[in-house]
């Protein structure tokens, strides 16, 4: 299974996938490319470190979505790696119909809450401020409705009275780093 990772940030979830691959825990999956919409994103530094092509793709003209020429550039860049699976790992853009149609049924996202609770931005902060006792992370299929696709798996994280937003964020990230590689490995076996 050929996997392309899309990310916008430091790449800790992409690194978890690459470390799992290195350790032989990614099933039949193999990360074949890392693409980012930010030229200085930390995720791009993972490419040389793990021997995987890593490239910036110009997403213009919009800041929060892929549309128009930016969407076409991303479709072409992703297609050039013949992916079986596209993993959104901290990719901070809303995907539009043309991209979703091109890769229908092959895009998954990692979200830092137990969906359907706390979709959208700042999910960990939303859960913390709301005072819930359990939050976590979700891997789901990507559909037109943001953070609403079929859920593939989830991992729960207890919020303790001693937690701060920083400690809760660290706990959710640790759960993400375990969950995402496990889901990709399972998908590679089906």
Catalytic residue list contains 111: yes
CB 55 within 8 A of CB 44: yes
Q: Choose, from 111, 140, 173, 177, the residue flagged as catalytic.
A: 111
Residue-wise pLDDT for 87-136, tens only, equals 999 999 999 999 999 999 999 999 999 999 999 999 999 999 999 999 99
17: containing domain = 2-189
Say how far apart CA 144 and CA 43 lie, in whole Å. 25
The number of domains in the chain is 1
Q: How confident is the model at residue 137 (pLDDT cuts 50, 70, 90)?
A: very high
**CATH classification at residue 117:** 3.40.50.170
């Amino acid at each position: 299974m050929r996997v392309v990772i899309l990310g916008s940030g430091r790449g800790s979830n992409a690194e978890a996938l690459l470390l799992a691959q290195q350790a032989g825990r990614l099933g039949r999956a193999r990360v074949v490319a890392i693409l980012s919409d930010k030229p200085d994103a930390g995720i791009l530094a993972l490419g040389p470190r793990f021997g995987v092509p890593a490239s910036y793709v110009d997403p213009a003209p919009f800041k929060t979505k892929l549309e128009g020429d930016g969407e076409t550039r991303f479709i072409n860049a992703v297609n050039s790696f013949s992916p079986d699976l596209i993993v959104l790992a901290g990719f901070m853009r809303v995907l539009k119909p043309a991209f979703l149609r091109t890769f229908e049924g092959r895009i998954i996202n990692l979200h830092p809450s137990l969906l359907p609770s706390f979709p959208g931005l700042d999910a960990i902060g939303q859960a913390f401020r709301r005072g819930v006792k359990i939050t976590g992370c979700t891997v789901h299929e990507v559909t037109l409705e943001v953070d609403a696709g079929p859920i593939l798996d989830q991992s729960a994280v207890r919020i303790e009275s001693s937690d701060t937003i920083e400690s809760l964020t660290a706990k959710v990230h640790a759960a993400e780093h375990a969950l995402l590689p496990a889901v990709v490995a399972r998908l590679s076996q089906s």
